[in-house]
Structure 1
Amino acid sequence: MQPTFLPWSGYFHLMSEVDIFVYLDDAQFQKSSWHNRNRISLNNASHWLTVPVLHQHLEQTLLETRLKNTIPWREKMTRLLEQTYAKHPFSHELTDFIELISNANFTSLAELNIALIEMMAQKLSINCQTIRSSELDIPGVRTQRLVSILHDIKATEYLSPQGAREYLTADSFIEKTDITLSFQQFEPQIYPKIKAEHFIEKLSMLDVVMNIGWCDSKAYITQIPQVINHETR
């Protein structure tokens, strides 16, 4: 999976279902994508959080994509998060997010994204092994490179997000390897949100945590039936 910025709950569900999770940190950066932005709920509407980056060349990878540190985006983003979630049940958990977002030592988009993902995975008690594709030095593109990576790590089954179904079929994945292909089964459920007039699905996992905390978020991504009532806490 490509390391995206503050991913949604489905990303972590996928991580929780596998033994080995590969960050495709050398994938090509795509402008105006989940690579450097995601959504939170602000004033009962979806709001984009965007990390400004430098576009140095068309084929730059996530690892090569530099953060635009010439503007105070870190301060603006953390201030917005603090104001947005100040009265949420688990606002105190925002500290871990702000610490990483504020860390100016991160100069690469991939490094920032992976640091945030791994912090969240640890809080969610996800214990899969993680590998970075940039460290494997495997050539190729699209499905052929994916198959080569799977063979390199001696995988017997590949769990794919539903969004990749079309291109894996078009690229004849099952004809290229004897590795079993499975597709993720995950549907985001409604979770309690304070002062929300309507539910907005597939927001960043950050929004889930601010509303129900890490413990219930673990149950949320694994889709364990739960009853949450903040009024009785």
Structure 2
Amino acid sequence: MRYMYVFTVYILFSSVSSSLLAAVTAEKTPNDVYFEVQLLADDLRALRRQNKIRTPWPRIKIESGREPRHVFQKVLEVLGEINSYRLNIVKTGGITVLRFPGRDITPNKVFSVVVRLRQELALLLAKRKNSRIKKKSSIQGNKTSNHVYAALSEVSIAIEETLGLRGVTPSEVYTRSLQVIRLVQFLRRSQSLPQDVPIPALTQGNFPKLLVITVLLPVVVMMMNVI
């Protein structure tokens, strides 16, 4: 009798939980995702003001052909940038950056990760204002993945401006430079071009950005011969 009672309670609990989960995970539309991205952008504007970033908000032209998988990839890119901000600016430790899940990217999956972006960004704000005063009715027209991708691209560039050179460590520059060099070497090898590349002389007293340009300039010259 006791086991029957426990089993009955379990069934009732499962039914209620399933109903709540279904309500929370109701099918989302690109309009829902776009609205969350706009709220994310508002939070990022506050973070830029907090960091005294006064450059104009970036504007990206809406292009066609974007699918939910493209949007999801851009969301992961923004998540990586927020992780870089945490690691290199506020020194609060990294966060788990999701891997691309592969097939069947739905607006629901994109929506859930954008909500996480807002949660992670909220932790970086000294004084968080409630950006929920916006209403979804303020979103004009039916949005598509193209609109969401463009809005996320603006967010990505805005975060990069907030990071500045502080968000790039020498190790990251070195690693990415090696990746570029290996790619160029592969392209030259595939076209039977010589592999000898003059190593630029080391310089002192330059900013990291100038040093990167100095190091990668011969690679750019090689690429001009390959393309």
TM, length-normalised to structure 2: 0.27
TM, length-normalised to structure 1: 0.27
Q: Would you tell me which structure has more helix in proportion to its own residues?
A: 2
Q: Would you tell me which structure has more strand in proportion to its own residues?
A: 1
Larger Cα-atom Rg: 2
